[in-house]
A and B are shown apart, each in its own frame.
Chain A
Amino acid sequence: MTFTSRAESEPTPIQALVRVLGDARDVGRLGLRTLHYLMRGKREKGAIAAQMLAVGNRSLFFMCVTMGFIGAIIAYQSGLQARKLVPDFSMIGATFLKLLVRDLAVSVGALPLATRVGAGIAAELGSMVVTDQVDAMRMSAADPVDYLVVPRFVACLIMGPALLAIGGLVAFGSGTLVANLAFDVSPHTFTNLTFVHLGDLALAALKAVTYGAAIALVSAQRGLATFGGSEGVGWATTEAVVGSCFAIIVLNLILSVIGFFLFPA
């Protein structure tokens, strides 16, 4: 079983930190090259649309299911929490919507999105690398970043926020249902937008776009850095999912701190 050799090489904490920073640098470089080709690269007709179909439409069912459950969970937990603090549930909808819009719909929803889309991108690019298709492109003077990464990047940038927005609506629907069934809060009372401000929406949109870009770039970088045959594709997929999820959590903290100062409640 030679498979595990890569997992069992033991890095010291400093080596691990250096590796994380190196990965971040590589992702940043890939991002710059992607932006460069986005501005002046050649555009293959239909490539972006094909990627939007793969990233967006094919993930819609999965996102709706997970976001439906997420909304129900958040509503139930906030109900439990509210029951301990205040006797009535009149404000549960307002706080639920505030939390959902400002952070949870986008940030929690981005994790299943990263799992689904990131794994797909890394597996696809990784298979192309280990079967030498990417080298063949370079031989034909076609830059893989231009042909492979740019369409996926654009697709994630557009479809990521769209999926998260649809997911947020589904989460709101299931949250309303649970609040009605479990705590007897009427949908009318639950739909309370008093706490939701324009700044919350702006913050959510900023987060959604950033996460979309991060998922595409981290997964593409991992996919293009694949080596070692079909096992390597498995590794690249693993690292893409973990890397994108971790990037989302770190970006969430950074953007939340920025939002805390820019758009105070």
Chain B
Amino acid sequence: MSGFVLALPARIGAVLIAIAEQVGGVSLLTGRIVARLRPRLLDRDELFRNLYRMGVRSVPIVSATAAFTGGIMVIQAAPFVDQFQAKAFVGWAATFTTFRELGPLLIGLIFNGRVGANNTAELATMTVTSQVDALRALAIDPIGYLVVPRVIAMVITMLSLCVIGNTIALGGAILTADVLLDVSPRLFWDSAAERLDTWDFGVGIVKSGLFGLIIALSSCHYGLATKGGAPGVGRAVNASVVGSAAGIFIADYFSTFLLG
């Protein structure tokens, strides 16, 4: 009987302890990274290699995602356009939502799947095959050599991908508005330019940098904390993707409030 009564609290407690464990691990890793943030210590080759691998190679999928996002936002605005006869607002409504919210969010989630999961798989494989220990044996600091360049690369990459993505989303939105809603590009552009602030664009950029940081910290943490040989790699990737996604949504919520 007592087992039955205690089953639910015990499970809730186990979940909370597991979450606390991961948050603690990420915080410790953050502290270690901050301690090594000195330009002199940075491995430039590793940084540029990661920038290319994570950034340049993600441009096609991010561009495609962004173009579709722009189109979808215009279609979602369509019912209101018909209802209120508000063709002049389409440009503003679609770009406002895309720049501030959906652009960074969708690009962050795609980036999480592509780069974050990949990064965890790579670090986890190195951990379970003792390559990280080998680095330590050679007196090379794994955090400084492996983690710091990745974290910096991911933040820079997310910032630039967001700028590229927003631009392409704007193109997709203008095209869809012209084809489906008969809103001319001129009208669309005027409507967006008149009502959008620079800050609307800025909020999205700040958010995407934040998402990049979250994906970087969580994917590196899960990768280095991998246990249990080859099957552990799959589990680590899975946990990292899910953890970063949850982190992205929570961070999105708070940044939406704080950045206003």
B97 contacts partner chain A, Cβ-Cβ < 8 Å: yes
Interchain pairs with CB closer than 8 A, number: 175
Contact with A along B81-98 (1 / 0, CB 8 A): 011000001000100110
Interchain CB contact under 8 A, A66 and B72? no
Chain B residues within 8 Å of A, Cβ to Cβ:
15, 53, 57, 60-61, 64-65, 68-69, 71-72, 75-76, 78-80, 82-83, 89, 93, 96-97, 100-102, 105-106, 109-110, 112-114, 117-118, 120-122, 124-126, 128, 131, 180, 195, 229-231, 233-235, 237-238, 241-242, 245-246, 249-250, 252-253, 256-257, 260
A139 contacts partner chain B, Cβ-Cβ < 8 Å: no
Interchain CB contact under 8 A, A238 and B83? no
Interchain CB contact under 8 A, A81 and B101? no
A77-B101, A246-B64 are contacts. A237–B72 as well, Cβ < 8 Å?
no
Give the distance to chain B from A97, nearest Cβ to Cβ, in Å.
12
Chain A residue at minimal CB-CB distance from B121: A234
Interchain CB contact under 8 A, B238 and A69? no
Pairs of residues from A and B, 3 with the lowest C-beta to C-beta distance, nearest first: A234-B121, A265-B79, A230-B230
Interchain CB contact under 8 A, B89 and A237? no
User: What A residues does B114 contact at CB under 8 A?
Assistant: 238, 241-242
Q: Interface centre among A4, A120, A242, by most B CB within 10 Å?
A: A242
A69→B110 CA distance, assembly (Å): 19
Give the distance to chain B from A98, nearest Cβ to Cβ, in Å.
7
Chain A residues within 8 Å of B, Cβ to Cβ:
1, 3-4, 7-8, 13, 16, 61-62, 65-66, 69-70, 72-74, 76-77, 80-81, 84-85, 95, 98-99, 102-104, 107-108, 111-112, 115-116, 119-120, 123, 126-127, 182, 195, 229-231, 233-235, 237-238, 241-242, 245-246, 249-250, 252-253, 256-257, 260, 264-265
User: What A residues does B113 contact at CB under 8 A?
Assistant: 115, 238, 241-242, 245
A241→B126 CA distance, assembly (Å): 22
User: What B residues does A252 contact at CB under 8 A?
Assistant: 68, 72
Interchain CB contact under 8 A, B180 and A257? yes
A108→B180 CA distance, assembly (Å): 22
16 A-B pairs with CB atoms under 8 Å apart are: A1-B131, A13-B60, A73-B101, A81-B93, A98-B79, A103-B76, A111-B109, A127-B234, A229-B230, A233-B234, A237-B234, A246-B61, A249-B72, A249-B106, A260-B78, A265-B79
- Cross-interface CB contact of A61 among B15, B68, B128, cutoff 8 Å: B15
Chain B residue at minimal CB-CB distance from A78: B97
A112→B113 CA distance, assembly (Å): 11
Chain A residue at minimal CB-CB distance from B239: A119
A249-B106, A250-B68, A253-B68 are contacts. A115–B237 as well, Cβ < 8 Å?
no
A237-B121, A253-B72 are contacts. A123–B180 as well, Cβ < 8 Å?
no
User: What B residues does A72 contact at CB under 8 A?
Assistant: 253
Chain A residue at minimal CB-CB distance from B83: A265
Chain B residue at minimal CB-CB distance from A6: B118
User: What B residues does A8 contact at CB under 8 A?
Assistant: 53
A6→B89 CA distance, assembly (Å): 46
- Cross-interface CB contact of B110 among A81, A242, A250, cutoff 8 Å: A242
A104→B64 CA distance, assembly (Å): 19
Give the distance to chain A from B242, nearest Cβ to Cβ, in Å.
5
A252-B68, A265-B82 are contacts. A120–B238 as well, Cβ < 8 Å?
yes
Interchain CB contact under 8 A, A77 and B112? no
Interchain CB contact under 8 A, A246 and B72? no
User: What B residues does A233 contact at CB under 8 A?
Assistant: 121, 230, 233-234, 237
A72-B253, A249-B65, A260-B180 are contacts. A123–B234 as well, Cβ < 8 Å?
yes
Chain B residue at minimal CB-CB distance from A174: B253
A257→B74 CA distance, assembly (Å): 10
Q: Interface centre among B82, B118, B260, by most A CB within 10 Å?
A: B118
Q: Interface centre among B65, B79, B110, B235, by most A CB within 10 Å?
A: B79
User: What A residues does B233 contact at CB under 8 A?
Assistant: 230-231, 233-234
User: What A residues does B245 contact at CB under 8 A?
Assistant: 66, 111-112, 115-116
Interchain CB contact under 8 A, B53 and A1? no
